[in-house]
Amino acid sequence: MATTNNGSTEVATGSFRTNIGEAGSSLKQAAVDTGDALKNAAVAAGEELRVGKANLKADLADTALAGIAAAEVAGGAAREQVDALMDKGRDLVDSAAELIRERPLASFGVAFASGWLIAKLARGSSNR
């Protein structure tokens, strides 16, 4: 019976060694596969970074162009507003000149009264 027991021990030991060998091989293959996966992930990440960088540059360029266009439009709008204000100023001066031509005495009286009032106010504030 000792030989049978010894024979089954040898079979069990052989089977154990085979299983350990397979486990080692599987572990080695898992390490290789993990290395490949990490390498591929790094390559893909690098490509994504390059694409992202290019997209960022394009977006920033678009932003700059839109800002420049907005500034140009704002400049044109400001010029239009200044022109409109100048036209209104000219209209007011023309209107005042017309009123003076139509009613010179009334215009002189208003101007004289305004001057007198301003002088009175100026003297009053200098006495204090």
Segment holding 112, helix H or strand E: helix 104-126
Average pLDDT, the chain: 88
Sign of CA dihedral 23, 27, 30, 32: negative
For residue 3, pLDDT beyond 60: no
Q: Band of the pLDDT at 11, cuts 50, 70, 90?
A: confident
For residue 118, pLDDT beyond 50: yes
Segment holding 61, helix H or strand E: helix 2-102
Residue pair 8/16 in contact by the 8 Å Cβ criterion: no
**pLDDT tens digits, residue range 33-72?**
999 999 999 999 999 999 999 999 999 999 999 999 999 8
Q: Band of the pLDDT at 128, cuts 50, 70, 90?
A: low
The mean per-residue pLDDT over the stretch 5-24 comes to: 83
